[in-house]
Chain A
Amino acid sequence: MILINRFDGGVSLMRLIGEAKADEEIGKWSKRNPGMYRSHIEIKDESVPTDRTFRDAWVLSGAGVIVDMNRARELWREVMRRARADRFAELDVQYMRAIETEDSAAASAIVKKKEELRGVTLLPDIDAATTPAELRSCWPDCLN
């Protein structure tokens, strides 16, 4: 496998097919992605993480791939935002019903839940996480 180290800090992983030559294929890739090629190395499959949760945070380190935790945190927050959007939609429906039935207690509970959701991307555990596994474990129940 060929790892292409990109100028945006990320990595692309190229697999050659048949008798294809690495230089030619990298040339094709560079033509398709102008200004992105920084360097390339040949790596073993084992050097690539099997967990792709943070694939877009992969960076080259030495002769292998590691997860850039700063990027990973942003990716994780984006995942949280997408999950949160669904929950917000559900809570909006519940809130309207509570208003219609003049159930103020239920409405207040829903407001609290929404506040909790708004705060999930600000959880200190996200910034405190030092490994992808720790980061992945930052998933409050309100998102489920």
Chain B
Amino acid sequence: MSQHDYNIANANGASVRSDLNNALASVVSQNSGASEPATMFAYMLWADTTNGLLKQRNAANSAWRVRGSLKETFVVAKTGLFTAVLSDFGQTFICTNTFTMSLQAAATLSDGWFCHARNDGSGVITIDPDASETINGVASITLNPGDDCTIWCNGSTFKTIGLPNLASDTYAGAIEIAVQSEMEAGSAVNKAVTPGRQHYHPSAAKYWAYLAESGGGYTLLASYNHTSIVDNGVGNIDLNVANDFSSSNYCPLVSVTGGNFIGLPTITNGGSYNFGIRNSTTGAVADATFFTAAFGDQ
């Protein structure tokens, strides 16, 4: 490490020679040192050994700008909570598991600081700026499995480059697949519905069936999400559900053909229910073709 004021003082030959050698050593070592040189010049380089950074004086000779890293390892594995700091300039973090990657205060990192992050696992990586600072205009972002980006700091906030632009009902872009809880909430307008999740929306029928009656016997002509039908007697039918409701608080509907019949659904639990069919005038049990569907939470 060597630093010099780049001023060759008047002295005897040996001292001048030593002074010159020190100046040259400072030049070839980029003025390296644990603290900044005592005498600074516009565009001067400084290998900041405390932070492991190569810095350069600005044109006004009023501040240092980070130009590079002095580290010898650039790709670093991360498996748990950590904070990316100034010395992590230009680092690439390969993240696995689910954890939060915090960012040092933007003012400390300063304009031009950047690093790369990749979610190389199956968890979710949350990138969380310091205090109330934001990244892409929000408090935090997440990297889903396979996502990667470069995080840039401008001295007051953070932006990413490389994350897919998310679609909305205004902009085209990548669209995330809605999970069960999002389908059940039914409020997201930037998530895609897939066939395997569609039925979780509150407005979707969780089961339906068409049972045709003939001569008192029932034939299941079409159904969804049923595993069995049980004839318990005249006008007394149990239907068992494949994917149960989460509780017995759900809404079964029934429509019976024939003007004199009514269907009476009875819920016992989330996995099965009963239909009684009655003559609406006499109250007598009866068999009749009926249609049923139900809504509720699974």
- Chain A residues with CB under 8 Å of chain B are 4, 10, 12-18, 20, 24-25, 28-29, 31-33, 50-53, 55-56, 82, 85
CB <8 Å contact, A16 and B234:
no
Within 8 A of A (CB), among B249-298: 268-269, 271-274, 282, 284-285, 287
Q: What's the tally of chain B residues with a CB closer than 8 Å to chain A?
A: 28
Q: Does B223 contact A (CB under 8 A)?
A: yes
Q: Which residues of B contact A4 (CB under 8 A)?
A: 230
Q: Which residues of B contact A18 (CB under 8 A)?
A: 227
Set A13, A52, A85: member contacting B230, Cβ < 8 A: A13
**Bound Cα distance from A4 to B229, whole angstroms:** 12
Chain A min CB distance to B284 (Å): 6
Q: Which residues of A contact B231 (CB under 8 A)?
A: 12-14, 55
Q: Main SS of chain B's interface residues?
A: strand
Chain B min CB distance to A139 (Å): 16
Chain B min CB distance to A25 (Å): 4
Chain B min CB distance to A90 (Å): 15
CB <8 Å contact, B215 and A14:
no
Chain B min CB distance to A115 (Å): 23
CB <8 Å contact, B232 and A31:
no
Chain B min CB distance to A88 (Å): 13
**Bound Cα distance from A88 to B271, whole angstroms:** 45
CB <8 Å contact, A14 and B268:
no
Set A15, A17, A29, A52: member contacting B272, Cβ < 8 A: A29
A12 and B216 in contact (CB under 8 A), knowing A17-B228, A24-B227, A55-B233? no
Set A31, A51, A53, A55: member contacting B268, Cβ < 8 A: A31
Chain B min CB distance to A63 (Å): 18
A52 and B216 in contact (CB under 8 A), knowing A25-B240, A32-B274? yes
**Bound Cα distance from A4 to B233, whole angstroms:** 12
Q: Which residues of A contact B282 (CB under 8 A)?
A: 82, 85
Chain A residue at smallest Cβ distance from B219: A15
Q: Which residues of B contact A10 (CB under 8 A)?
A: 232-233
Q: Does B217 contact A (CB under 8 A)?
A: yes
**Bound Cα distance from A55 to B284, whole angstroms:** 14
Set B229, B274, B285: member contacting A15, Cβ < 8 A: B229
User: Could you list 6 examples of A-B contacts with CB < 8 Å?
Assistant: A10-B232, A10-B233, A25-B228, A32-B271, A55-B231, A55-B234
Chain B residue at smallest Cβ distance from A13: B231
Q: Which residues of B contact A17 (CB under 8 A)?
A: 220, 223, 226-229
Q: Which residues of B contact A20 (CB under 8 A)?
A: 227-228, 240, 242
Q: Which residues of B contact A13 (CB under 8 A)?
A: 230-231
Q: Which residues of B contact A53 (CB under 8 A)?
A: 216
8 closest Cβ pairs, A-B complex: A52-B216, A20-B227, A25-B228, A32-B272, A28-B240, A13-B231, A32-B268, A14-B230
**Bound Cα distance from A14 to B238, whole angstroms:** 9
CB <8 Å contact, B215 and A50:
yes
A31 and B230 in contact (CB under 8 A), knowing A17-B220, A20-B242? no
Chain A min CB distance to B182 (Å): 28
**Bound Cα distance from A33 to B272, whole angstroms:** 10
CB <8 Å contact, A28 and B232:
no
**Bound Cα distance from A79 to B230, whole angstroms:** 24
